[in-house]
Amino acid sequence: MTHGARLHARVLGDADVAAHFSGRAQLQAMLDVEAALAAAEAQVGVIPPRCVAPIRAAARAELYDRVRIAVEATETGNPVIPVVRHLTARVEESDAEAARFVHWGATSQDVLDTGLVLQLRAAVPTVIDHLD
């Protein structure tokens, strides 16, 4: 173990901090990005405003099989692809038009990067608390 790794072991190895980076947290962050994207696009007239509610309602991690998504991510090489596929299918169950606008104009990298920033942002207060 390097000196740097030892310096950060307690902060990075802490269960409270780790919870912000769990599989469930990552999935929820990606779903939060998709819901926020739809809301922002509706606000500026890119997608119909009525499509936001069905997307937001389906953007809840507990609705999805994380193991299945993880397996599919290994097959596609990207976790966003199965997340978007499953989110779209769930939205389509209640609103076919809204399903057309899931992930509208975004790239997988946009969702991965923004989701990670949301996770980091959520973790910062915990990290700061543990520095004291």
The whole-model pTM stands at: 0.88
Whether 11 has a pLDDT exceeding 60, the answer reads no
The answer to whether the CB of 32 falls within 8 A of the CB of 59 is: yes
Domains in the chain: ranges and CATH: 3-131 (1.10.275.10)
The answer to whether the CB of 34 falls within 8 A of the CB of 111 is: yes
The answer to whether the CB of 102 falls within 8 A of the CB of 47 is: no
Task: Find the range with the poorest average confidence among 32-36, 58-62, 92-96, 126-130.
Answer: 126-130
The answer to whether the CB of 88 falls within 8 A of the CB of 99 is: yes
* Across 89-96, average pLDDT: 99
Q: pLDDT digit string (tens) for 32-77? A: 999 999 999 999 999 999 999 999 999 999 999 999 999 999 999 9
